[in-house]
């Protein structure tokens, strides 16, 4: 576990050194810088665009072409600077598909592995996460989250112990679709999770009322799920042009519009759009290029999106 963390840190440092060296004069050989944000509890910064795996990676081993596609998508994700891969035992074959892809790709130094415990009871939770380690082919996870608050007080105890023992780097908890926000807010206020994950998108801004400011106030890293509302946001903008001003911060598509809007909220650490398509992945990863919109630009994006009806 420690070995893995050190390797990643060393790799990031070496990339930083290389970037600095190239910045000092040589040709533009360095990859374009990507937008990163810090995890409040540690200061470690991570790429703002991760990847989800619900449905998109639920591919059985018998679907050889589908598994190969998962590998291609994840390989490109890492090539473009991706970090967080999010999964759960709830997502059918997704963890096995991720594990196969990671083995096929081989070296994945930027991987930030994140899965979830989704069962009741201490022993069942521990067994589920040991099985997840086996499926992913990792010796430990960067982040283990309690999925949808299921038996969270039981799991928080052993997850905290694992973290103290160095078997886990970060703890977290998730919800989605705006559900149970009041109860979730209490956990943000009073429980020592490093990460909180919930839904936020231009089509669902409910988290602005309490979860986002609370997470910021209490030093939680925030992962946003369903930034495309499961893909339905694209139907709302089909055939509509992007407003001209978004080119100022390097936004070239509607996917990047949706993702840059989410990641530019000051409380948000990263977003985990899901895709099964290579060209969509490349599009989404473009939201880590350029800069993030300012507060005024965010408001202008909201006004423009809302005007589309
Ligand atoms: N409670 C929880 O813990 C919880 C709940 C929900 C979600 N999550 C996590 O959050 C992740 C994201 O949420 P989600 O999967 O529900 O929805 P999402 O990321 O909002 O949307 C995914 C959909 O958007 C489409 N898409 C992706 N990139 C696109 C692009 N550039 N252009 C056009 N379409 C694009 C995908 O289709 P294609 O495959 O065709 O690209 C897919 O249908 C999940 O996969 C999961 O890891 C967690």
- Nearest 5 degrees, angle CA 92-CA 98-CA 104? 140
Spacing, Cα 25 to ligand 1 middle (Å): 41
30 occurs within a structural domain:
no
**CA-closest candidate to residue 202, choices 56, 84, 300:** 300
- Residue closest via CA to ligand 1's atom 24 equals 231
35 occurs within a structural domain:
no
Phi, psi at residue 124, to the nearest 5°?
Answer: -65, -40
- Residue 30: what pLDDT? 52
211 occurs within a structural domain:
yes
The answer to whether the CB of 213 falls within 8 A of the CB of 268 is no
26 occurs within a structural domain:
no
33 occurs within a structural domain:
no
Compute how many other C-beta atoms are within 10 angstroms of the C-beta atom of residue 124: 15
Q: Is the pLDDT of residue 25 over 70?
A: no
- Residue 309: what pLDDT? 80
3 occurs within a structural domain:
no
21 occurs within a structural domain:
no
140 occurs within a structural domain:
yes
Number of structural domains (the chain) is 1
The answer to whether the CB of 212 falls within 8 A of the CB of 265 is yes
Residue 148 maps to which CATH number?
3.20.20.100
Residue 162 to residue 175: CA distance in whole angstroms: 22
Spacing, Cα 230 to ligand 1 middle (Å): 5
Mutation choice for ligand 1 from 228, 251, 261, 284, CB with most ligand atoms inside 8 A: 228
pLDDT digits (tens, 9 = 90+) for 209-256: 999 999 999 999 999 999 999 999 999 999 999 999 999 999 999 999
Which residues line ligand 1 at a C-beta cut-off of 6 Å? 52-54, 56, 86, 147-148, 174-176, 197, 225-231, 234, 255, 272-277, 280, 283-284
What is the rounded average pLDDT of the residues 261-279?
Answer: 98
Residues pairing with 4 in the sheet:
none
Instruction: Between 9 and 111, name the one with better pLDDT.
Output: 111
Pull the structure tokens for residue 200: 């936020």
pLDDT digits (tens, 9 = 90+) for 154-205: 999 999 999 999 999 999 999 999 889 999 999 999 999 999 999 999 999 9
Q: Which residues, at least 6 apart from 104, have a Cβ–Cβ distance to it below 8 Å?
A: 71, 75
3-state SS of 132-147? HHHHHCCCCEEEEEEH
Pull the structure tokens for residue 27: 């040709």
**CA-closest candidate to residue 193, choices 154, 149, 145:** 145
Give the domain range for residue 240: 41-307
Confidence at 17, pLDDT banded by 50, 70, 90:
very low
């Amino acid at each position: 576990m420690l070995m893995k963390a050190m390797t990643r840190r060393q790799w990031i440092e070496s990339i930083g050194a290389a970037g600095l060296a190239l910045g000092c004069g040589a040709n533009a050989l360095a990859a374009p810088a990507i937008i990163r944000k810090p995890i409040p509890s540690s200061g470690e910064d991570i790429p703002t665009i991760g990847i989800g795996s619900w449905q998109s990676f639920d591919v059985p081993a018998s679907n050889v072409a589908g598994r190969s596609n998962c590998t291609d998508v994840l390989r490109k994700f890492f090539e473009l600077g991706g970090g967080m891969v999010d999964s759960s035992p709830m997502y059918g074959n997704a963890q096995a598909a991720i594990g196969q892809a990671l083995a096929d790709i081989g070296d994945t130094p930027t991987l930030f592995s994140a899965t979830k415990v989704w069962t009741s009871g201490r022993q069942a939770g521990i067994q589920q996460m040991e099985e997840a380690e086996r499926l992913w082919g990792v010796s430990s996870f960067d982040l283990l989250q309690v999925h949808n608050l299921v038996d969270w007080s039981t799991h928080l105890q052993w997850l905290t112990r694992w973290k103290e023992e160095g078997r886990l780097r970060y703890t977290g908890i998730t919800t989605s679709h705006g559900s149970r926000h009041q109860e979730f807010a209490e956990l943000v206020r009073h429980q020592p999770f490093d990460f909180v994950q919930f839904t936020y998108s231009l089509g669902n801004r409910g988290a602005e009322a309490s979860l986002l400011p609370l997470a910021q106030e209490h030093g939680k890293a925030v992962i946003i799920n369903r930034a495309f509302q499961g893909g339905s946001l694209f139907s709302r903008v089909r055939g509509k042009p992007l407003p001209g001003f978004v080119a100022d911060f390097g936004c070239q598509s509607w996917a990047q519009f949706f993702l840059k809007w989410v990641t530019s909220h000051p409380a948000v650490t990263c977003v985990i759009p899901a895709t099964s398509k290579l060209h969509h992945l490349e599009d989404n990863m473009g939201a880590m290029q350029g800069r993030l919109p300012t507060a005024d630009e965010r408001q202008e994006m909201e006004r423009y999106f809302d005007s589309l009806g």
